[in-house]
Amino acid sequence: MANPKKRSSKQVPVSDGQIIVRRLFELFGKAFIAMVLVGIISGSIVAAVMAVYVFKSLDGTVDIDLHDLDMKYTTILYGTDKSTGEEYELKRLQSSENRIWVDFEDMPDHLWQATIAAEDKRFMEHQGVDWKRTTAAFINQYIVKILPGTQGGSTITQQVIKNVTGEKEISAARKINEIFSALKLEKQFSKEEILESYLNTIPFGGTTHGVQAAANRYFDKDVSELTVPEAACIITITNAPSYYNPFGEKGAIHNKERRNYIYTQMLDLGYITQEEYEEYYDSDVEVARKNTLEGETAMLTWFEDYVIDEVISDLKSELNITGAQAWDMVYNKGLRIYTTYDPLVQKNLDNSYKNSNTFPPVINSEYPESAVVVLNAEDGSIAGLIGGNEKNGDRLFNRATAAQRHPGSTMKPISPYLQAFEMDMITWSTMFMNDPIMVDGEPWPVNFYSADDGKKISVVYALQRSINRVPAQLMEVIGPEQAFNFLDKKLAFHSLVSPEDNYQHNDMNLSPMTLGGMTVGVTPLEMAGAYRIFATGGKFVKPYSYTLVTDADDNVLLEKDTKSVRVISEETATIINKLLQAAAMQAPGTGTAANLGFMPTAGKTGTSSDDYDQWFIGMTPYYVTAVWMGYDEPSQILYYNYPPPILWKNLMTPIHQNLEPKEFAECEEVEAMEYCVVSGDLATYNCPETATGWYKESFAPSNCTVHMRGGSSMRDYDDNDGEFEGGVRTRRSSSNDD
pLDDT digits (tens, 9 = 90+) for 354-371: 999 999 999 999 999 999
Mean pLDDT of 263-270: 95
Query: What's the mean per-residue pLDDT of the chain?
Result: 86
Please answer whether residues 627 and 400 qualify as being in contact, where contact means their C-beta atoms are separated by less than 8 angstroms: no
> Phi and psi (nearest 5°) for 260?
-60, -40
CA atoms within 13 A of residue 66's CA, in its CB half-sphere? 29
Question: In Å, what is the CA distance from 268 to each residue of 122, 153, 230, 261, 271?
Answer: 12, 20, 19, 11, 8
Question: In Å, what is the CA distance from 174 to each residue of 57, 136, 146, 212, 379?
Answer: 15, 18, 21, 30, 59
| 101 closest CA partner among 65, 64, 69 | 69
Give the confidence band of 166 by pLDDT, cuts at 50, 70, 90: low
Report which DSSP code applies to 8: P
- Residue 708: the pLDDT is 77
pLDDT > 90? residue 173: no
CATH dotted code for 97-280: 1.10.3810.10
Q: Label residue 207 exposed, middle or buried (CB < 10 Å: 0-12, 13-18, 19+).
A: buried
Domain boundaries for CATH 3.40.710.10 within the chain: 373-543+557-645
- Residue 163: the pLDDT is 75
Q: Among 263-272, 282-291, 519-528, 531-540, which is the least confidently predicted range?
A: 282-291
pLDDT > 60? residue 61: no
| 592 closest CA partner among 616, 575, 624 | 616
Question: In Å, what is the CA distance from 544 to each residue of 307, 311, 615, 652?
Answer: 9, 10, 22, 20
Report which DSSP code applies to 383: E
- Residue 147: the pLDDT is 45
Q: Among 116-120, 178-182, 441-445, which is the least confidently predicted range?
A: 178-182
Q: Is the peptide bond before 471 cis (omega within 30 degrees of 0)?
A: no
Distance CA 119, CA 410 (A): 68
Give the confidence band of 471 by pLDDT, cuts at 50, 70, 90: very high
Q: Under the phi-then-psi rule, with left for phi > 0, alpha for psi from -120 to 50, and beta for the rest, what region is 332?
A: alpha
The count of other CB atoms within 10 Å of the CB of residue 444 is 17
List 628's β-bridge partners, or say none. 371, 615
Q: Which residue has the higher pLDDT, 416 or 168?
A: 416
Distance CA 616, CA 528 (A): 10
Q: Which residue has the higher pLDDT, 626 or 30?
A: 626
List 190's β-bridge partners, or say none. none
How do 437-439 and 442-444 pair as beta strands?
Answer: antiparallel
Q: Which amino acid is at 34?
A: A
| Residue 106, C-beta contacts closer than 8 angstroms, at least 6 positions apart | 223, 224
How do 456-458 and 602-607 pair as beta strands?
Answer: unpaired
pLDDT > 80? residue 606: yes
Mean pLDDT of 393-418: 96
Q: Which amino acid is at 264?
A: T
pLDDT digit string (tens) for 497-523?
A: 999 988 888 999 999 999 999 999 999
Give the confidence band of 3 by pLDDT, cuts at 50, 70, 90: very low
Give the confidence band of 716 by pLDDT, cuts at 50, 70, 90: very low
| 716 closest CA partner among 676, 683, 694, 669 | 683
- Residue 175: the pLDDT is 65
- % of the chain with per-residue pLDDT over 90: 66
Mean pLDDT of 483-509: 94
Instruction: Note the CATH architecture for domain 373-543+557-645.
Output: 3-Layer(aba) Sandwich (3.40)
pTM of the model: 0.81
- Residue 31: the pLDDT is 58
Give the confidence band of 44 by pLDDT, cuts at 50, 70, 90: very low
Domain boundaries for CATH 1.10.3810.10 within the chain: 97-280
Q: Label residue 549 exposed, middle or buried (CB < 10 Å: 0-12, 13-18, 19+).
A: buried
